[in-house]
Amino acid sequence: MKARRMPAVAGMFYPSSEEELRREIERSFLHEIGPGRLPRTSEGKRRPPALIAAHAGYMYSGPVAAHAYIQLDGRRVATAVVMGPNHYGVGTPVSIFPEGVWVTPLGEVEVDGDLAMELAKASDVFSLDEFSHEREHSIEVQLPFLQYVLGEVKLVPICFLDQSLKTCIKVGEALGAVLKARDDVALIASSDMTHYEPHEQARSKDARALEEVRRLSAEGLYEVISRNGVSMCGYGPVAALIHACRKAGAREAEILKYATSGDITGDYGSVVGYAAVKVELEA
């Protein structure tokens, strides 16, 4: 029997019913902080970009995440490799969910077992492990957006307990080889930015970190995080994405949108920062 990873945060981070979830996703796209339009769901012909997307509750980060996911409109995506941090501290250092399906209120997403096994064989940095993923939300919250924009898509979930630069460079090496070999894989890093600081302070710190992301400098990102105390939770997946994109020939990222939870709630005393980023790859 194939593994079925059931939702861990449906009804908390996003609605648990299909109808309400679709409405919430559409609200994110049409929100004044969002891109202001719905995806056209046109036939996918172009190569997908790599993306960085936020993973808080949809009411807070959904409009910013929508700026990332609308970039997949009209793109050719067979598999989405979604990388997220391990917030719960359980499992293996870098865990790939090996096979089966992930379930959301919008239906099932099949794990691309062939690509998962290919990555596991390519580098000993990976473990094939379901346990690391049981409670983790950073990957799960990306799936309804993928389902809404793309319809059917396969998934390779990668969860990072070890976010050291050395480890993330190894992951980036393996994923860069995939991006060079295939033009139908969307690489997505799930991360929020600064956590629970005043709005202007968060914006200032995040601007420094995002400049290093724009430059596709993994080393620079780690230096800025360390020097400025940036509480970005998914810096490891972002670094792996940066290195993979550089290996595949990219030289620069585009910052699509930045906002904080204060821009949604009006409470600027203690906010979380959210960013949407795109890296175009060679056709």
By three-state DSSP, how is residue 155 classified? strand
- Tell me the whole-structure pTM to 2 decimals: 0.97
Residues in contact with 226: Cβ distance below 8 Å, sequence separation at least 6, in sequence order: none
One digit per residue, the tens of pLDDT, for the chain of length 283 reads 789 999 999 999 999 999 999 999 999 999 999 999 999 876 778 999 999 999 999 999 999 999 999 999 999 999 999 999 999 999 999 999 999 999 999 999 999 999 999 999 999 999 999 999 999 999 999 999 999 999 999 999 999 999 999 999 999 999 999 999 999 999 999 999 999 999 999 999 999 999 999 999 999 999 999 999 999 999 999 999 999 999 999 999 999 999 999 999 999 999 999 999 999 998 7
Residues in contact with 124: Cβ distance below 8 Å, sequence separation at least 6, in sequence order: none
Q: Which domain holds residue 98?
A: 4-279
pLDDT of residue 43: 72
The dihedral over CA atoms of 192, 195, 197, 203, expressed in degrees to the nearest 10, equals -20
pLDDT of residue 56: 96
Number of domains within the chain: 1
pLDDT of residue 182: 97
Of 233, 254, 48, which is closest to residue 154 (Cα–Cα)?
48
Query: Contact at 8 Å (CB) between 80 and 175?
Result: no
Of 97, 85, 20, 89, which is closest to residue 55 (Cα–Cα)?
85
* Beta pairing class for 154-160 and 79-85: parallel
What tokens appear for 81 in the block?
């490799």
Report CA-CA distances (Å) from 212 to 65, 125, 251, 272, 280: 20, 25, 12, 19, 16
CA–CA separation, 96 and 105 (whole Å): 22
Query: Contact at 8 Å (CB) between 76 and 45?
Result: yes
Residue 171, φ and ψ in degrees, nearest 5: -60, -45
Q: What is the CATH number of the domain that holds 123?
A: 3.40.830.10
* Beta pairing class for 79-85 and 127-128: unpaired
What tokens appear for 120 in the block?
């596991």
pLDDT of residue 42: 66
pLDDT of residue 45: 83
The dihedral over CA atoms of 128, 177, 112, 12, expressed in degrees to the nearest 10, equals 70
By three-state DSSP, how is residue 42 classified? coil
Q: Position of tokens 């890296």?
A: 279
What tokens appear for 122 in the block?
């390519």
